[in-house]
């Protein structure tokens, strides 16, 4: 297998020596018939199609649902590597939750001069309606996705925080289920930490965050925008796996200060709503008056403490990429500790010196929208054209505060199965974190996203990326 110069390959970092976490898998792989593996890969794709594991891409004329490509070569992480990652992830999500509570209350971090006031007050994701609101259990971010990249043996860094509505956990679970079905012998020989209990942990986390007047056990439901949403499969999947109701806005109404869902036995109050509807569409009385996806008055019920919304409204400010650039300061301010996991160096284009630096080096840097997601609205300098850089320069000059820039990282690679054998492709990792008053739970593994095109650094499914099963070893 050819490894690109300057890129750390997680199976064979020098192209020949197999790293210890992969030793048993690679021994198994070398004994396998290549055509059998290709046949298994085709079987996996067919299974995903039967299950309906698809997504929609917004903004395209072709509304056909797409299958997220799945590669059958797993990503393997040692137990000791994972233990260090968990420490850093736990530290980060605790700081994010403390930051959210602070900016909607005293704003001590602003008073201390550690984060600029305008970055909070003028932020489109900051919700004045949440000022002074205390969520049940003081938890804002019940479900968090932390996007990690790797550039060396012990070099992990956080690329993005997803504290609003992190998606992809259903693909993580289905990837594992598919691998268990395709290669049961692998899991008999290699001790991989299980992830199948994630829905149970999710249900327990949500229940532990119920309001003071919750029923016993709390009634939990999942709010979806509907079947045309790109992540609808995941909404339905998680509701089924948790044993929770899947509801849309028109299924709910406010009665007597509670949010109730229509059932065959009449209106039933909901204690916890895992909402997959964006803030702006959540409540037409308090946000976008044209929204048909939310529930009129639900924010008033929430502010009165009669329902838990997971994640809390207003958490999207923690996803802001300008806020991300201050995360080292945020972590130290609220925990008193230095960050365990590094940030990627970030230039805030709102600052004149940074803007000048970025404009001079557009061919070297990755430029992202502050509120962007899904790989949209970004420029990857080294692979861009002169015309694309010229267009982006105009955008930066017109609205510099809407962009940040980062160096083009040599993301680690993991082999994928091809017709010719194994070939390295760049990856990132999104571990999923559950937070309740009883503690933080990090699912062992997460969603590995892989850039299936040779040399590509864009792993998002909307941009042609695929996924892998992520193994955390028991060692």
Residue 392 is part of a domain; what is its CATH number? 3.30.1490.270
CA distances for 279 relative to 309, 317, 389, angstroms: 11, 11, 33
Residues 300 and 356 in one domain: no
Among 445, 431, 438, 469, CA closest to 160: 431
Mean pLDDT check: name the lowest of 30-34, 99-103, 200-204, 263-267. 263-267
Q: Is residue 287 part of a domain?
A: yes
Last residue in a domain, options 247, 282, 306: 306
Give the tens place of pLDDT for each residue, 221-238: 999 999 988 889 899 999
For the chain, give the longest Cα–Cα distance: 68
CA dihedral 398, 403, 406, 410 (to 10 degrees): -100
pLDDT tens per residue across span 192-213? 999 999 999 999 999 999 999 9
Residues 219 and 302 in one domain: yes
Q: Which domain holds residue 250?
A: 212-306
Distance, C-alpha 60 to centroid of its chain: 23
380 domain residue, yes or no: yes
Task: Judge contact between 252 and 298, C-beta under 8 A.
Answer: yes
Neighbouring C-beta atoms of residue 297, cutoff 10 Å: 17
**Domain-located, residue 149:** no
pTM above 0.85, yes or no: yes
328: pLDDT strictly greater than 70: yes
Residue 21 falls inside a structural domain: no
Q: How confident is the model at residue 373 (pLDDT cuts 50, 70, 90)?
A: low
| Structural domain count of the chain | 2
Dig out the tokens for 78 from the structure. 């040692």
> pLDDT tens digits, residue range 64-84?
566 788 999 999 999 999 999
Instruction: List Cβ neighbours of 266 (8 Å cut-off, separation of 6 or more).
Output: none
Helix H or strand E segment including 397? helix 386-398
Give the mean pLDDT of 445-471. Answer: 87
Residue 209: the pLDDT is 96
| 92-139 pLDDT per residue, tens | 999 999 999 999 999 999 999 999 999 999 999 999 999 999 999 999
Q: Is residue 379 part of a domain?
A: yes
Better pLDDT: 56 or 457: 457
Does 241 fall in a domain? Answer: yes
Q: What is residue 1's predicted lDDT score, i.e. its pLDDT? A: 53
Of 306, 325, 353, the residue that ends a domain is 306
Of 259, 286, 306, the residue that ends a domain is: 306
Q: pLDDT above 70 covers what percent of the chain?
A: 93
Are 202 and 242 spatial neighbours (Cβ–Cβ below 8 Å)?
yes
Which has more confidence, 398 or 452? 398
Percent over 90 (pLDDT), the chain: 81
Per-residue model confidence (pLDDT) at position 47: 86
Element (H, E) at 95: helix 79-103
Residues 365 and 295 in one domain: no
pLDDT at 64: 54
Rounded Cα–Cα distance for residues 451 and 414 (Å)? 10
The CATH number of whichever domain residue 242 belongs to comes to 3.40.50.11290
Same domain, 277 and 354: no
More confident residue, 372 or 321: 321
Q: Is the pLDDT assigned to residue 452 strictly greater than 80?
A: yes
Q: What pLDDT score was predicted for residue 151?
A: 92
Give the mean pLDDT of the chain: 92
In a domain, 56, yes or no: no
12-23 average pLDDT score: 86
Distance CA 22, CA 25 (A): 5
329-347 pLDDT, tens digit each:
999 999 999 999 999 999 9
Burial class (CB in 10 A: 0-12, 13-18, 19+), 377: middle
What is the structure's pLDDT at 58?
47
pLDDT of 2 reads 60
Residue 245 within a domain: yes
Residue-wise pLDDT for 417-436, tens only, equals 999 999 999 999 999 999 99
pLDDT of residue 49: 81
Distance (Å, whole) CA 27 – CA 11: 12
Q: What is the mean pLDDT of residues 46-62?
A: 64
Which pLDDT value is given to residue 462? 64
């Amino acid at each position: 297998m050819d490894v690109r110069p300057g890129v750390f390959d997680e199976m064979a970092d020098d192209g020949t020596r197999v790293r210890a976490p992969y030793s048993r898998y690679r021994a198994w792989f070398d004994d396998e018939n290549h055509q059998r593996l290709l046949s298994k890969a085709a079987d996996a794709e067919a299974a995903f199609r039967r299950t309906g594991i698809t997504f929609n891409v917004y903004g395209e004329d072709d509304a056909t649902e797409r299958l997220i490509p799945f590669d059958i070569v797993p990503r393997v992480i040692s137990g000791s590597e994972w233990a260090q990652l968990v420490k850093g992830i736990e530290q980060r999500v605790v700081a994010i939750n403390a930051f959210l509570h602070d900016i909607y209350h005293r704003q001590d971090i602003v008073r201390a001069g550690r984060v600029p006031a305008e970055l909070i007050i003028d932020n489109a994701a900051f919700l004045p309606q949440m000022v002074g609101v205390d969520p049940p259990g003081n938890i804002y971010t019940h479900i968090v996705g932390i996007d990690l990249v790797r550039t060396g043996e012990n070099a992990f860094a956080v690329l993005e925080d997803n504290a609003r509505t992190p998606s992809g956990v259903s693909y993580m679970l289905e990837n594992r289920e598919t691998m268990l079905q395709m290669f049961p012998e692998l899991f008999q020989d290699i001790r991989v930490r299980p992830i199948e209990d994630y829905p149970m942990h999710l249900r327990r986390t949500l229940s532990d965050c119920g309001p003071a007047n919750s029923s016993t056990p709390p009634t939990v439901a999942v709010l979806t925008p509907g079947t045309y949403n790109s992540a609808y499969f995941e909404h339905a999947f998680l509701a089924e796996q948790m044993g929770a109701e899947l509801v849309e806005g028109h299924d709910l109404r406010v009665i007597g200060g509670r949010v109730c869902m229509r059932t065959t036995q009449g209106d039933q109050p909901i204690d916890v709503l895992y909402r997959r509807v964006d803030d702006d569409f959540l409540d037409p009385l308090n946000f976008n008056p044209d929204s048909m996806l939310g529930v009129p008055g639900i924010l008033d019920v929430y502010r009165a403490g009669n329902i838990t919304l997971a994640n809390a409204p207003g958490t999207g400010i923690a996803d802001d990429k300008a806020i991300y650039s201050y995360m080292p300061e945020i972590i130290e301010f609220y925990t008193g500790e230095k960050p365990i996991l590094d940030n990627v160096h970030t230039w805030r284009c709102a600052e004149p010196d940074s803007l000048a630096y970025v404009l001079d080096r557009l061919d070297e840097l990755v430029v992202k929208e502050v509120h962007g997601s899904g790989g949209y609205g970004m420029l990857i300098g080294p692979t861009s054209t002169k015309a694309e850089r010229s267009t982006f320069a105009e955008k930066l000059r017109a609205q510099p505060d809407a962009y940040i820039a980062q160096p083009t990282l040599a993301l680690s690679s993991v082999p994928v199965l091809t017709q010719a054998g194994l070939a390295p492709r760049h990856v990132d990792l999104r571990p999923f974190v559950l937070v309740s008053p009883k503690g933080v739970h990090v699912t062992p593994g997460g969603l590995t996203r892989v850039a299936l095109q040779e040399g590509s650094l864009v792993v998002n499914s909307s941009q042609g990326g695929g996924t892998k099963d992520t193994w955390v070893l028991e060692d």
